[in-house]
A = this chain, B = another copy of it.
Amino acid sequence: MRRIRLTVAYDGTNYCGWQIQPNGITVEEVLKKTIEKLTGEKVTVLGASRTDSGVHALGNVAVFDTESRIPAERFSYALNQKLPRDITVVESREVPLTWHPRYQNSRKTYEYRIINAPVLYPTERLYHCFVSFPLDVEKMREGAACLTGEHDFASFCCIRTGAKSTVRTITDLEIFQEGEYITIRVTGTGFLYNMVRIIAGTLIRVGRGFYEPEKVQELLEGRVRTREAVTAPPEGLFLIKIAYEGEEG
Contacts and interface: CB of A to CB of B under 8 A. Distances in A.
Interface in A19-40: none
A110 interface: no
A80 B117 CA distance: 14
Contacts of A102: none
Contacts of A10: 122-123
What interface size band does chain A fall in? Answer: 20 to 34
B127 A123 contact: yes
A76 B9 contact: no
Chain A, interface SS category: mixed
Interface string A42-63: 0000000000000010100000
Interface in A71-102: 76, 80, 85-90
B119 A90 contact: yes
Contact of A88 (B76, B80, B87, B119): B119
A87 to B, nearest CB: 6
A176 interface: no
